[in-house]
Amino acid sequence: MKRKKILPILLLSIVIITQFCRRTDAVSERVWVIGIPSDPSSADPLFAADLTGRKLASLVYRRLVMKNEEGVFQPDLADFRNEPDGSSVFTLKKGFLKSDDVIFCLGRGKTEKSPFRSMFLSLKNIEKIDEVSFRIVSEIGQNETLSLLSSSYSSIYSESEYKKNKSFVSEGLYRITEWNRNSDLTLLRTESAPKEYPETVRLKN
């Protein structure tokens, strides 16, 4: 393995081991097999209330913001700024997800009877500014709002794919290609992931 490939793969190894806390076997540079304690409860981030489901979401989905090791919120899918009036304005980075997708996903959080619905009800209004920008007005503080938006259940995915196929297409590192219940899941690397990452990750319980 070339030296320049070591760092990205090492970082992925740390993420996976931290997330799943089980053995990771590198069958090859292209295929990894990871042990998981149980099946995720759902591929829908709104209903993935179990630990495995939430950790899986970290590989398959992305959120608007993320929290670093120091507890500081940083941009993920979107840059953001907090306004003096208590609202926050977000601008999506380059990608296929748009403001309408964000409004749809967060709107589902308010209407679906998921374990997290009460949290989403604190979002008073999500105002579209343009195709990639929007404003969020919340009943809770700006930091509390960012905390909500950094959670796995606030993952953002394509509205059209969900409505058409009931599928979850996001800009995460991987996408689910096969799920054999109570056995294994197969994840395939997306264009969002560095090419040094393994092409296939299998989660086995």
At 50-61, the pLDDT tens digits run 888 888 888 899
The pLDDT, as a whole number, for residue 29 is: 60
DSSP code of 26? E
pLDDT on residue 30: 81
- Concatenating the DSSP letter of every residue in 28-75 gives SSSEEEEE-SS--S-SSTTT--SHHHHHHHHHH-B-SEEE-TTS-EEE
Please give the Cα distance from 38 to 53 (Å, whole number).
Answer: 9
> Please, which residues have CB within 8 angstroms of residue 19's CB and are 6 or more apart in sequence?
55, 58, 59
Lowest mean pLDDT among 73-77, 158-162, 201-205: 201-205
* 195 or 189, greater pLDDT: 189
Per-residue CA distances from 150 to 21, 73, 165, 204 (Å): 21, 8, 26, 27
- Mean pLDDT throughout 142-159? 96
Distance CA 176, CA 62 (A): 14
Tens of pLDDT, residues 1-28: 444 444 444 445 445 544 544 444 554 5
Task: Quickly list DSSP for 62-91.
Answer: B-SEEE-TTS-EEESSEEEEE-TTS-EEEE
pLDDT for residue 3: 44
Residue 76 has pLDDT above 60, yes or no: yes
